[in-house]
C-alpha cells in the first residue's frame, strides 16, 4: 500500500494561497481583457447635468443658470456649440477642450474657463480614464433657451 504524505496546516495554507493567487491572476486577466475590449469598442458613458440655481435677470427676458456637470472617466461630448458664453470652474479632475481650429488645452482642478459662444466646440472630454470630471458652469440666456446645441 502506498503511503500518502501527511497534510500539515502549513501545506494546506500553502495550497490555499496558491489557489487564491491563481484565481486572482485569472480574474486580473479577465479584467484586463474586458478593459481592452472596452477600449476597442468604446461605449459613451453618461454625463450628468444638474441645475443648481436658476434666476431671472430683472427687467429682461434673460435668466442665469448654474450647473454642476459630471463626466465619468473617459467620457466626451459630441461636437457642439454654445449660443452664449459660459463661465466655468473645475472642481475635480481635468478636462481637455478645443474650439474651432484652436489646439486643445487641458483644464485642471481649481482653474476657471470660458465656454465660447457660437464657435464649434470640437473637443470636450474628461482627460482621465480613471477619475470623474466635475465642474460648475453658469450661462445667462434667453428664458427657456438651450445652453448647448448639437448639430
pLDDT value, residue 151? 87
Regarding pTM above 0.85, the answer is no
How would DSSP label each residue in 26-74?
HHHHHHHHHHHHHHHS--PPPPEEEEEEEEE-TTSSEEEEEEEEEE-TT
Blockwise average pLDDT, block size 10, the chain, 151 residues: 42 39 42 42 70 97 97 95 97 98 97 97 97 98 94 87
- Grid cell of 42 as nine digits: 468604446
Query: What ranges do the domains of the chain cover?
Result: 1-43, 48-142
The pLDDT, as a whole number, for residue 45 is 60
- What's residue 102's pLDDT? 96
| CATH superfamily entry for domain 48-142 | Jelly Rolls (2.60.120.10)
Amino acid at each position: 500500500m502506498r503511503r500518502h504524505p501527511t497534510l500539515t496546516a502549513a501545506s494546506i495554507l500553502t495550497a490555499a494561497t496558491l489557489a487564491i493567487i491563481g484565481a486572482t491572476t485569472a480574474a486580473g486577466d479577465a479584467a484586463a481583457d474586458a478593459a481592452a475590449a472596452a477600449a476597442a469598442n468604446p461605449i459613451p458613458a453618461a454625463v450628468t447635468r444638474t441645475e443648481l440655481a436658476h434666476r431671472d435677470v430683472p427687467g429682461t427676458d434673460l435668466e442665469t443658470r448654474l450647473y454642476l456637470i459630471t463626466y465619468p472617466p473617459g467620457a466626451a461630448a459630441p461636437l457642439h456649440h454654445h449660443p452664449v458664453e459660459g463661465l466655468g470652474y473645475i472642481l475635480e479632475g481635468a478636462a481637455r477642450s478645443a474650439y474651432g481650429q484652436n489646439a486643445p488645452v487641458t483644464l485642471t482642478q481649481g482653474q476657471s474657463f470660458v465656454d465660447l459662444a457660437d464657435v464649434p466646440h470640437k473637443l470636450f472630454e474628461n482627460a482621465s480614464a480613471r477619475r470623474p470630471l466635475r465642474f460648475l458652469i453658469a450661462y445667462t440666456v434667453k428664458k427657456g433657451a438651450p445652453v448647448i446645441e448639437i448639430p
